[in-house]
Amino acid sequence: MGSNVCYIGPKFNEGLRWVDYLHTLIRTTKKVRMRRIFTAVICLAIGGASFAQQDPQFTQYMFDRLSVNPAVAGISGELCGTLLLRQQWTGFDGAPKTALLNASMPINKISSGVGISVYLDKLGQQNSTFARLHYSFHRKIGPGTLGIGIYLGAGSHALGNDWLARDPVAQDDAISTASTSQTGFDLGAGLYYQTPKFWVGISSTHLPQTKLDDVSIKMVRHYFIQGGYDYAIKGNTKYVLQPSVLVKSDATSTQFDINARFLYNNMVWLGVSYRTEDAIAPMVGYQMRPNEKSMLKIGYSYDVTTSKLKNYSSGSHEIMLNYCVLLVKKPDLQIYRNVRFL
């Protein structure tokens, strides 16, 4: 596994998915209180498994297209803010907890958009904080708008030392006995195209693949493809089917999020998501217009774990809050001269 930050139990095989390793470890340590060792297990998983996603994972990804694709910034012509809160694997001490806040707006005078994303992620002994500033250049193409975007940011990882081990580790130099943290530079880019009926984007995060040697972490480059479509059933906009997909890859493994939502009367939606080798998630939401230029959306999803962790987890909860205001460009002031006063 290389330079381990945490070690517990049987040796980790880099060719093994860390979820499978976690399952094996739990089965071999039934005599030990599982809740007390879970934090150390998670620390090992994030420290050594190249499979693990380093970007936030959300079931309601269709409301957070910006954080992984800077080209989305301002492309809708609205000032938007989104908050996502996720509690993963309920029932485990040290299970992942993630919070994301992002905002974006258009700058019409230069056919551009700007945005900001901040997310906090706590996973066992690791606390991660990322901040990204997004810029997107917009160009009208056909019935929609193309965005070409880039983000600049920084990522900070901190590792604690409150863990337990099955075997003596005092003589192992690879095991940290003190809390440590490190911050590194981050960069990403993307393309995004949106029309009134569909959207599609491709992007990559962690392009420099910054190494944080103090915490034994490398920001692995990730790739994303996302898209969605609004289909009015029999042409009736009162009943709209909204399928979407998100493909995530770190060039070692690939995961698919497939979703279908049904929006009724532009007010209430029901849906379900499937994440390969991980979970099935029903979702529900409500949206309203406080006025003709704004929209408020509230959503909830619950992940039913389908991986080997299903015997130990009570699922994952996620809450979404989104608010957008349409920014209408004011007409230019026109000055007319009367010939009588020339």
Residue that the structure tokens 């910054």 belong to: 210
Buried b / exposed e over 219-236, threshold 16 CB at 10 Å, is: bbbbebbbbbebeeeeee
Contact 174, 4 (CB under 8 A): yes
**Nearby residues of 142 by Cβ (< 8 Å), 6 or more positions away:** 195
Work out the pLDDT band at 175, boundaries 50, 70, 90.
low
Sign of the CA dihedral with 88 first, then 244, 78, and 141 last: positive
Q: Which of the four pLDDT bands, split at 50, 70 and 90, describes residue 67? A: very high
Alpha-helical segments (H) within 204-331: none
Q: What percent of the chain has pLDDT over 70?
A: 75
Provide DSSP, 14-59.
TTS-HHHHHHHHHHHTTTS-HHHHHHHHHHHHHHH-TTS--S---T
Residue 342, pLDDT score: 47
Q: 269 pLDDT exceeds 90?
A: yes
Between residues 251 and 341, the one the model is more confident about: 251
18-166+178-326: CATH topology is Porin (2.40.160)
Instruction: Tell me the pLDDT tens digit for each residue of 198-217.
Output: 999 999 999 999 999 888 88
Taking alpha carbons only, the member of 37, 51, 46, 35 closest to residue 4 is: 46
Mean pLDDT calculated for residue range 220-245: 96
Q: How far apart are CA 281 and CA 278, in angstroms?
A: 10
What does the alpha-carbon distance between residue 133 and residue 204 come to, in Å, rounded to a whole number?
15
Domain ranges (residues) in the chain: 18-166+178-326
Containing 245, the helix (H) or strand (E) segment is strand 239-249
- What is the rounded distance in angstroms from the CA atom of residue 122 to the CA atom of residue 128? 6
Q: Nearest-CA neighbor of 25 among 48, 56, 3, 2?
A: 48
| Residue-level length of the chain | 342
**What are 68-86's pLDDT values in tens digits?**
999 999 999 999 999 999 9
CB of 59 closer than 8 Å to CB of 87: no
**Worst-scoring range by mean pLDDT, 43-47, 109-113, 210-214, 229-233?**
43-47
